């Protein structure tokens, strides 16, 4: 089993550039990947998604990529048209007010649209820097999810063992349930007819009630579902959906046994099985 929850972060720094990657995983019915990068790295989102999708089959993954640079080459340009427009506006204002004032260069270059600064970046270079850090973080993220999944599998199978133990108690009392039905039929006939009992009628009524209330078929189906649950958990690394379906079938059989039971020991076992199954379902919410 692989858990949908996990966390990993990795960082690598060189002389002028540092790259950090953080990955968080949550449970979710379907696969959803959210990538958070600086705007100028948004073109790398599809490649980052592909790396995450390579290890995640289900769940919600949040990936944050940060790049910090020093000594980045700059491309600086002056918008002469904007500068002239500012100077003319200030000159006209000074003339109208009778003020001898000129716009200094230091003020002028700070005005919007006059000086444009653009960092010179090599797009291919950034993926070469990010990819190894991303893959290292993904490896740690996957290892964390596998470790958590192994622990979850152990917990789940312990609860399945509790259901199987309770089922053995139910099996031990199944024959007693049938005998109880037979005795109840005989007692009712005696109350109504005294000693004038029609054995054939009793047998017919008993057969009808046994068809409605016997739990032997439910026991067989429940045992089969539990066996299939264990087999699926053992052979499938991502059994979440199949196991969730099997839980529905197991719950159906447990409920039917409970509705038919008139024996206190069986009813107690049904309560134990339902409690254990609810714990299984709770754990499965984190399983791919």
- Let me know whether 184 and 139 are in one domain: no
pLDDT value, residue 203: 62
The answer to the question of residue 1 being in a domain is no
CATH of the domain at 54: 3.30.230.70
pTM: 0.71
- Let me know whether 105 and 142 are in one domain: no
Q: What is the pLDDT of residues 119-175, one digit of tens each?
A: 656 667 889 899 999 999 999 999 999 999 999 999 999 999 999 999 999 988 877
Q: How many domains does the chain have?
A: 3
Expressed as residue numbers, the domain containing 180 is: 147-284
- Let me know whether 67 and 99 are in one domain: no
Provide the pLDDT confidence category of residue 205 given band limits of 50, 70 and 90.
Answer: low
Is the distance from CB of 285 to CB of 29 less than 8 angstroms? no
Residues contacting 4, CB < 8 A, separation 6+ = 25, 26, 27, 28, 56, 58, 59, 60, 145, 240, 286, 287, 288
Q: What is the pLDDT of residues 65-94, one digit of tens each?
A: 999 887 666 567 788 888 888 888 888 877
- Let me know whether 58 and 138 are in one domain: yes
- Let me know whether 160 and 186 are in one domain: yes
Sign of CA dihedral 236, 238, 242, 244: positive
pLDDT value, residue 109: 80
- Let me know whether 209 and 153 are in one domain: yes
Q: How many whole angstroms separate alpha carbon 5 and alpha carbon 60? A: 8
- Let me know whether 180 and 60 are in one domain: no
Instruction: Round the average pLDDT of the chain to a whole number and report it.
Output: 86
- Let me know whether 67 and 107 are in one domain: no
- Let me know whether 36 and 51 are in one domain: yes
- Let me know whether 241 and 156 are in one domain: yes
Q: How many whole angstroms separate alpha carbon 178 and alpha carbon 173? A: 9
In terms of DSSP bridges, do strands 59-69 and 31-36 run parallel, antiparallel, or are they unpaired?
parallel
- Let me know whether 81 and 134 are in one domain: no
- Let me know whether 241 and 155 are in one domain: yes
The 8 Å CB, 24+ separation contacts for 155-162 are: 155/283, 156/1, 156/233, 156/243, 156/280, 156/283, 156/284, 156/287, 157/230, 157/233, 159/276, 159/277, 159/279, 159/280, 159/283, 160/226, 160/229, 160/230, 160/276, 160/280, 162/272, 162/273, 162/276
The answer to the question of residue 219 being in a domain is yes
Reference 164, options 247, 222, 94, 89; nearest CA is 222
How many residues make up the chain in this entry? 288
């Amino acid at each position: 089993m692989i858990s949908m929850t996990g966390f990993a972060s990795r960082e690598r720094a060189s002389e002028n550039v540092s790259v950090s990657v953080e990955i968080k995983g949550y449970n979710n019915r379907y696969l959803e990947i959210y990538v958070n990068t600086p705007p100028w790295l948004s073109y790398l989102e599809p490649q980052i998604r592909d790396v995450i999708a390579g290890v995640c089959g289900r769940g919600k993954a949040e990936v944050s990529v940060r790049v910090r640079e020093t000594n980045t080459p700059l491309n600086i340009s002056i918008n002469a048209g904007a500068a002239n427009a500012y100077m003319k506006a200030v000159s006209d204002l000074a003339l109208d007010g009778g003020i001898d004032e000129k716009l200094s260069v230091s003020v002028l270059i700070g005005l919007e649209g006059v000086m444009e600064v653009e960092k010179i970046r090599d797009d291919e270079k950034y993926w070469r820097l990010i990819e190894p850090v991303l893959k290292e973080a993904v490896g740690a993220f996957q290892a964390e999810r596998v470790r958590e999944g192994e622990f979850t599998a152990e917990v789940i199978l312990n609860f399945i063992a509790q259901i199987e133990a309770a089922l053995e108690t139910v099996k031990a009392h199944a024959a007693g349930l049938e005998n109880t039905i037979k005795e109840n039929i005989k007692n009712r006939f005696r109350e109504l007819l005294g000693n004038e009992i029609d054995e054939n009628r009793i047998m017919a009524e008993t057969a009808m009630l046994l068809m409605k209330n016997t739990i032997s078929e439910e026991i067989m189906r429940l045992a089969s579902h539990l066996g299939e649950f264990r087999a699926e958990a053992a052979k499938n690394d991502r059994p979440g959906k199949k196991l969730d379906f099997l839980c529905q079938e197991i719950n159906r059989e447990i409920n039917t046994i409970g509705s038919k039971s008139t024996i206190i020991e069986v009813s107690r076992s049904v309560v134990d099985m339902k409690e254990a199954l609810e714990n299984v379902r709770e754990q499965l919410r984190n399983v791919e």
